């Protein structure tokens, strides 16, 4: 039972940030596409902005690994 709860916690730690990241990247992506269409020179900045929400999933992934290694 305890293992199952740890697995669920790890899944949530990755899954919830993944959903939030997907939402944020969709918004940033569409706005970024519009900006690049008008100002191609902003391409580099837009790629960086698009990547920033990824940190949420990476942190979630780290938390999930820690949960599994610590308690499983």
Partner 1 sequence: MLLKKYDENYGYLNARLRARMDLFLKREDYLKLANGDLYGLEAFILEGQFGGNYREELLQSNLSLEKRIDEALARGIASNLQKVKAFAVGEPRLLLELLLMRADLHNGRLLLRALKTESNKTQKAPKWYAFGALPVSLLEELWDCKSNKEIIGKLLLNGHKIAICLARAVMELEQTGVLPQAERKYLSQLVRYAMDKIEDITGKNKKIILEYIHRTIDIWNFNVFSRKSRRNGEDAAYAKYFMDVQGLIERSRLFKATSWENLLVGTPWARVLKSIGVNYNEHVVLRNVIREFLFWQIYQRRKDLMGIGVAIAYIAMQLVEWQNLNTISVGLQIGMPSDQILSRLILLER
Find, among 71, 72, 57, the residue nearest to 13 by Cα.
57
Contact 40, 1 (CB under 8 A): no
Please report, for residues 4, 17, 46, the alpha-carbon distance to residue 54 in angstroms, rounded to integers and kept in the order given: 27, 9, 14
Closer residue to partner 1 in complex, CB, 3/39: 39
Note whether 3 binds partner 1 by CB under 8 A: no
Instruction: Choose, by CB under 8 A, the member of 3, 39, 59, 66 that binds partner 1.
Output: 39
Note whether 53 binds partner 1 by CB under 8 A: no
Q: Which of residues 15-34 bind partner 1 (CB under 8 A)?
A: 27-34
Query: Which residues in this chain contact partner 1 in the complex, by CB under 8 A?
Result: 27-35, 37-39
């Amino acid at each position: 039972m305890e293992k199952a709860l740890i697995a669920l916690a790890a899944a949530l730690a990755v899954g919830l940030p993944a959903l939030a990241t997907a939402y944020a990247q969709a918004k940033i992506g569409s706005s970024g596409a519009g900006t690049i269409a008008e100002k191609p020179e902003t391409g580099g900045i837009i790629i960086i902005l698009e990547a920033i929400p990824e940190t949420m999933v990476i942190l979630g992934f780290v938390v999930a690994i820690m949960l599994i290694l610590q308690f499983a």
